[in-house]
Amino acid sequence: FVFPSHLTESVHRQHGIDRPGLVINHFLPDEYIADAESRGDRPDDVEPYYLYVGRLEPVKGVEALVRHFAEHPCPAPLYLAGDGSLEGPLKEKYGQNPSFRFLGRLGQEEVGMLYRDALALILPSAGYEVLGLVVLEAFAHSTPAIVTGIAGATELIAASGAGYSYDSDAELGEALSQLAADPDLRSELGRKGHDYLGKAHGEGD
C-alpha cells in the first residue's frame, strides 16, 4: 500500500489494513512549479487578503472559517475560490460583508495569481484531509499556509516550517495577525515552502 500521508496510513491501520506499506506524499507536475515561478514575486502594493481554494462543502470546514472571519476582527478579507453546495447559502448570508469575496470556480491561471498574492492559503478541514494538494500549490507560489490540526497537511507544515497549524479560533486569529503584521515573516515562510517543494522534487540531485 502507498499512503499519501502518515495520517492516512494511521487511519487505515486503525481500520484493519495491516499489509506492508510506505508513505509517499502527493507532488506537483514540474510544469506547474515552473509556471508558478514564472509569475515572479508578490507585488508590494497588492491589497492584502487570505485565500481559500476548494469545494464549498461541509467536510472542508469552510463554514467555520467563514464564521471566524464574520465574528472576529481580521486584518484582511477572505477570498474564496470554488463552488459547491454551500456557495448559495454562504453568499446569501455573507455576500454583502466586506470581509469576503466569493469568486466561484476559477481556472488555473486565475487561481495561480491568487496564490501568489495572498498573505496565506487557509485549509480549514473539518475531516481527515488526506494531505491537501492546495498547500503544495501555495508553496509553489512561495505562499505560506495555515491548516487545521486534523488535516494531513500538518505534516507539510511540520516538515517545511512554512506556516501554521491551528486547533482553535484563538490560534487561527494569532496566525492571521502575525502574517499580516510582518511582511518579512510572510516572505520567509513562503520561501521555506518553496524550498521544501524543491527538495521534495529532487532539485539539485
Q: What is the pLDDT of residues 133-192, one digit of tens each?
A: 999 999 999 999 999 988 788 989 999 999 999 999 999 999 999 999 999 999 999 999
pLDDT of residue 71: 95
| Count of other CB atoms within 10 angstroms of residue 8 | 20
- Residue linked to cell 454551500: 86
pLDDT of residue 204: 43
| Positive or negative torsion for Cα 36, 37, 39, 41 | positive
Cβ atoms 131, 200 nearer than 8 A: no
Q: Of the candidates 139, 131, 145, 146, which has an alpha carbon nearest to the alpha carbon of residue 112?
A: 139
The Cα 122–Cα 101 span in angstroms is: 14
pLDDT in tens, the chain (205 residues): 988 877 788 888 988 988 999 988 888 999 999 999 999 888 888 999 999 999 999 999 999 999 999 999 999 999 999 999 999 999 999 999 999 999 999 999 999 999 999 999 999 998 777 778 999 999 999 999 999 988 788 989 999 999 999 999 999 999 999 999 999 999 999 999 999 988 876 654 4
Q: What is the pTM (predicted TM-score) of this model?
A: 0.90
Q: Of the candidates 140, 141, 142, 167, which has an alpha carbon nearest to the alpha carbon of residue 154?
A: 167
| Positive or negative torsion for Cα 197, 201, 202, 204 | negative
The Cα 95–Cα 74 span in angstroms is: 17
CA distances from 105 to 6, 8, 33, 49 (A): 30, 28, 21, 18
Cβ atoms 39, 112 nearer than 8 A: yes
